[in-house]
Structure 1
């Protein structure tokens, strides 16, 4: 009799212990989890992550990695560099659009990504962890998907905020991480998207039954405090809030002031002709005011025809041209078109023996601190008549923070290639 009572008592205790373990389905009691909720979030991420991946590759192409090792911060790409091409200069707002979409969309998708991970977190604790070779491969792809996604979004946000709290260079880390994440994402999409599409269609048709092969529905859910539709609206509201506090960095005026989550540069740009976004001030770049001013400063231009040195007065005597171009930075911010005036890069190339076929140019700055103290531009960028060594902006001389005495400005190029405080231009083989 005692043994019988003992046997009757053990299952109740054991059941309680099992319910307290994350590997037990009964541990997860939220009534919101289920294939409907997960399917909607998954389809949003399918489109959003694909756009993020494509615009990310476009950003690398815009840096002209073929000019390595000057611009390229991710060496030894091998076959992963198949997409590289000569970045165009038309339309002049191209990089402003693609990088603005990349950064703004990435920040906006953060609540969707976190909600999607929350909706499937019980699957990470299922036992046994591997039931077969096929199941093991699926679990590995899931690990790479979750880890890669969190890594890419985290490093991207830190880069946008100019906070490099991770070891190594952002460029190779983010580049290789993107390939790992997107490869796992493609495998996951091939396996899961058909069922997600069917579930969404059934939801729209008002059907009660949906596919739940992953067992996401809690077997003994708690009482709901909101509906699944309400939860989706909550996630959407979080994304809308992040969108509203980020997208303004792509515009001037009141919208930029609303971009609370966007970087705002090293100083207030103030007002007037030079009163637009600054990413790095002259002080942060270590610019010596005497070295960058008259009469000390000289521009050295080198080409196959020899070397020419020009002070600011000599540059001002050359033919001056104007171009309306924005500045667009990898962190996602951009300005509206500013009116730049100076000497065409192709005219400077002609001074040193490149009259008919201006080649690429290696640009060196007076900058002492930080990355991108030099950059390279392709031959097509030099040949564009809007590519200038600018001396003025919006009718006034450049301020020190905007690159005085001279800076490069090129249509559709990332901001870091529009080198400030230019000291030397070398045309020809890099």
Structure 2
């Protein structure tokens, strides 16, 4: 009678000679640094939406105490959001091979029996389960969002935000429990070298297969393989943050490849006019009007401006990038239009411009309405742009008028603007 095959809970089930404290410790320390940066840049990028300013900006209204850190998003430096979200997305994609290798290296522990040998061990197992589940959820939803093919039910913003807190709480708990052992393992690795068999069977030796298969690659070779995979993903993603030939290297990013056109307006966009449901009859020069409203001292004032009248107002220029939550960005484009603070002055705010609610003509897609803080309105580079790079805006770039604000996420740079309400959100 043949012996029954070993179960995953049996040490004999796992036969790879690569598993062990050395591999796990190196991968764990890389993730310790990388995931911490991911978490911080994610929280900072969320703050860039000014979610505590107005309900239209807040996609996670039930966050409660999790929004304790929110602050008024600055306008300097102008490339701030381009940096934070570019790092967040590019680093997240780059860490995928490291995360998968780390999960592979510790998978025997998910099936280990008994489930808990002590309170500390029980807490470690719980943190590990939350960590694995949270990591897979965050990375999968993040990649789907980057690829503009988000498939999960519900809002990406809220699910990714809450999932990040659950994941990071488990990550911190697991790091606190395991970091001392990881550091000791690396110190012993330096002392005993690559072939420290005694080291592998010491602390955390439960990862070592008691009857391993013959090795086909060294642990160092496995680390080089993981590092090469990360380098490949980095090289095929990071280019989305640049213009010109480098963007064509972003094969795994939705905004890689050639620019969508040529000439002054040939730079990346997110939503086209057709996708947003823009009716050209509404944006014609004779039909379109900008409605500007303000309430000062209990009195409401409204001004309606045609495109010709806007062009007669003092026009100013600013060199600002476009940066999107999916991680892509452009270099500085030259925008020309009316300062937002000058529009606020038209309805009574001569000195200190207030917050503003901006409404778009778009019919489909998120952020048809967006709110900007007073500091964003007051910045002299914040414009209701009519031109870019010396030419009139194209329909896909927001014709007849769009908002452009330094350091703001792309969705707050509202296109196809129809109404601006100052001082009452």
The TM-score, its normalising length taken from structure 1, stands at 0.94
What residue number does 2:226 align with?
Answer: 235
Structure 1 residue 268: Cα displacement: 5.8
Instruction: Report the 3-state secondary structure (helix = DSSP H, G, I; strand = E; otherwise coil) of the residue aligned with 1:389.
Output: strand
**Structure 2 unaligned blocks of 5 or more:** none
Structure 1 residue 182: Cα displacement: 0.3
In the alignment, the residues of structure 2 paired with residue 353 and residue 115 of structure 1 have an alpha-carbon distance, to the nearest angstrom, of 60
* Residue among 248, 261, 274 paired with 1:257: 248
What residue number does 1:36 align with?
Answer: 22
Structure 1 residue 267: Cα displacement: 10
* Residue among 344, 349, 352 paired with 2:347: 352
Deviation per CA, 1:180-233: give whole Å up to 9, x if none: 000000011011111111222222334424343251010000000000000000
Are positions 1:173 and 2:168 aligned together? no
Instruction: Report the 3-state secondary structure (helix = DSSP H, G, I; strand = E; otherwise coil) of the residue aligned with 2:317.
Output: strand
Instruction: Report the 3-state secondary structure (helix = DSSP H, G, I; strand = E; otherwise coil) of the residue aligned with 1:196.
Output: helix
What residue number does 1:413 align with?
Answer: 408
What residue number does 1:427 align with?
Answer: 422
Are positions 1:302 and 2:288 aligned together? no
Deviation per CA, 1:362-395: give whole Å up to 9, x if none: 0000000111111000000000000000000000
What residue number does 1:395 align with?
Answer: 390
* Residue among 309, 315, 319 paired with 1:314: 309
Deviates more, 1:123-132 or 1:255-264: 123-132
After TM superposition, the runs of 4+ consecutive aligned structure 1 residues lying more than 6 A away are: none
Query: What's the RMSD between the two structures over aligned residues?
Result: 1.5
In the alignment, the residues of structure 2 paired with residue 266 and residue 246 of structure 1 have an alpha-carbon distance, to the nearest angstrom, of 11
Deviates more, 1:62-71 or 1:208-217: 208-217
User: Is the contact between residue 155 and residue 170 of structure 1 (CA under 8 Å) also seen in structure 2?
Assistant: yes
Structure 1 residue 67: Cα displacement: 1.3
Structure 1 residue 318: Cα displacement: 0.2
The structure number with the bigger radius of gyration is 1
Are positions 1:151 and 2:146 aligned together? no
In the alignment, the residues of structure 2 paired with residue 324 and residue 137 of structure 1 have an alpha-carbon distance, to the nearest angstrom, of 52
What residue number does 1:4 align with?
Answer: none
Deviates more, 1:121-130 or 1:284-293: 121-130
**Structure 1 unaligned blocks of 5 or more:** 1-8
User: Is the contact between residue 22 and residue 28 of structure 1 (CA under 8 Å) also seen in structure 2?
Assistant: yes
Q: 1:267 to 1:372 in 2, by over 3 A?
A: farther
In the alignment, the residues of structure 2 paired with residue 320 and residue 312 of structure 1 have an alpha-carbon distance, to the nearest angstrom, of 13
Are positions 1:244 and 2:231 aligned together? no
* Residue among 167, 188, 193 paired with 2:179: 193
Deviation per CA, 1:56-100: give whole Å up to 9, x if none: 000111000111311010012111111100000000000000000
User: Is the contact between residue 101 and residue 226 of structure 2 (CA under 8 Å) also seen in structure 1?
Assistant: yes
Structure 1 residue 237: Cα displacement: 0.5
In the alignment, the residues of structure 2 paired with residue 382 and residue 265 of structure 1 have an alpha-carbon distance, to the nearest angstrom, of 32
Are positions 1:75 and 2:61 aligned together? yes
